[in-house]
Structure 1
Amino acid sequence: MTDYTPIQQQAAPPAAPPRNGLGTAGFVLGLVGLVIAPIPLAGVAAWPLAVLGLILSAVGIARVRSGKATNKGLAIAGVVLSLLALVVSVLWLVVIGKVINDVNEQATQHHTIVYEVSGNAKTADIDYSTFDRNTILINTEAGAAVPWTRTVEATGFLAGAQFTATAGPDGGSVTCKVVVDGKEAKTATAAGPGAVAGCTGF
């Protein structure tokens, strides 16, 4: 009688564990990029983070489709967050570019400024600004006859410019008026000896 030895089947090797690292890393980078993208200056770092997050998340999705990873939802979220971070970064660049352009235009813009003092006062002490490149100079004319006018030229910002008219000792009213590039910028009136009409901050 022949003895038969049963053949034992070998168990299949255990399946390789899912490798979810790339999709997870893409999600984290996209999230960090989206958080810092709206922050001025720091938002510059959102660009490389968002791009890298988008790449890693896309690779993570590909690994899910090939059965090598299981975190499909996290990888898709990484793609979405990375794209949002890129959009926010682009919007910030547009805004910053416009601000820089506006500042440059204002810094080089030429202005014609007309100072006027009127009223029934006979005289007034007048302080007014003139401009020398980036420097604002204060000029004073004491006891100037009213009415009075001066025209000055300026390039750049007008912030910090001053213009006041102080009625003389004989009293009366004084009115100061500033016209910038043909448009009235500011006016004020005061009456009485030593009264001050201020048109500063135009």
Structure 2
Amino acid sequence: MTENGFWALLRAWIVTRRMRQNVTEVGRAAGLKEATVSYAPMPPQPMAAPVPYKNGLGTAGFVLGLVGLIFAFIPLIGIIAWPLTILGLIFGIVGTLRANRGQASNKGMAITAVVLSAIGLVICVIWTAAFGKVVNDAANSLPTAPAPPAVADAGSQPAAAAPTGQATAKHTVVLEVTTAAKSNVQWSSGFTTNSQEVLEKGKTWNQTLTMDDLAFTSVTVTPVEFKVGSKDNTCKITVDGKIVVEHHNSVGALCTYQP
């Protein structure tokens, strides 16, 4: 081998070695960069804010239903239970629907509100029906609106005042007055009270009442101007065709009937 060939081979070996070193260094740099990118820490992900529960209606329905149920047992005062139980029922139903959709967490309280409000409402209805029956019975027991009284001259038989009560009325009460002088007449029966009337001398007056249940009844006749020696005024009460009381007096004739 000549000297020139030797140096040519040496230069080729040096160039090849340098190329290998460059490739190795480039590879190492690329691997380090890849490792750095691969193992870099990830940024924290933002957490979704929790949706607040809507428990207000269920709680309000429970409170209203409980208070309404308590007041429903109290007569008269229980009238305020009507709006409480109705609102409690509505709020309880809405609260239950919200709980079923996951918008509320107090489903048990909302269901309790519905139950309490429903019970209170039923009690209110029962009280109302009972009160209505009592009022109706009391109204039926009172005397019906009286017909205008019949007035005639003393000694003649006045036409009986036509009863204005219902056909089912059980009792007929007749009030009669005969005046010996100009007199005031006043009568009452149960809760029905008539203002006094003035009758001239020598008149006969009667008033017919019809009622289901007999009530306390009275009639009074007193002279407008009392004079000594005046004749007696007369009053009389007849119940179902039977005279139950009759009174004569010149100062004041008073007839009362207590069944």
TM-score if structure 1 supplies the norm length?
0.58
Q: Counterparts in 2 of 1:187-202, with a 5 A limit?
A: 201-202=258-259
Query: Which residue of structure 1 lines up, in the alignment, with residue 53 of structure 2?
Result: 18
Q: Counterparts in 2 of 1:112-127, with a 5 A limit?
A: 112=172
Query: Which residue of structure 1 lines up, in the alignment, with residue 108 of structure 2?
Result: 73
Larger radius of gyration: 2
Contact 1:60 1:72 in 2 (8 A): yes
* Partner Cα distance (2:105, 2:124) in 1: 30
Q: Counterparts in 2 of 1:135-150, with a 5 A limit?
A: 135=193
1:45 has 2:105 as partner: no
Cα displacement string for residues 54-73 of structure 1 (whole angstroms, at most 9, x for unaligned residues): 11111111111111211111
Give, in angstroms, the shift of residue 135 of structure 1. 4.3
TM-score if structure 2 supplies the norm length?
0.47
Cα displacement string for residues 32-52 of structure 1 (whole angstroms, at most 9, x for unaligned residues): 111112323322222221111
Q: Counterparts in 2 of 1:26-175, with a 5 A limit?
A: 26-107=61-142, 108=144, 111-112=171-172, 132=188, 134-135=192-193, 153-156=208-211, 158-161=214-217
Q: Which has the higher contact order (CA 8 A, sep 6+)?
A: 1
* Structure with a larger share of its residues in helix: 2
Give, in angstroms, the shift of residue 153 of structure 1. 4.9
Structure 1 segments unaligned to the other structure (5+ residues) = 115-129, 137-151, 163-178, 183-199
* Structure with a larger share of its residues in strand: 1
* Partner Cα distance (1:84, 1:181) in 2: 48
Structure 2 segments unaligned to the other structure (5+ residues) = 1-31, 145-164, 175-185, 195-206, 219-237, 242-256
Show structure 1 runs of 4+ deviating over 3 A.
130-133, 152-162, 179-182
Alignment size in residue pairs = 147
What do you get for the CA RMSD once the two structures are aligned?
Answer: 3.6
Contact 2:173 2:210 in 1 (8 A): no
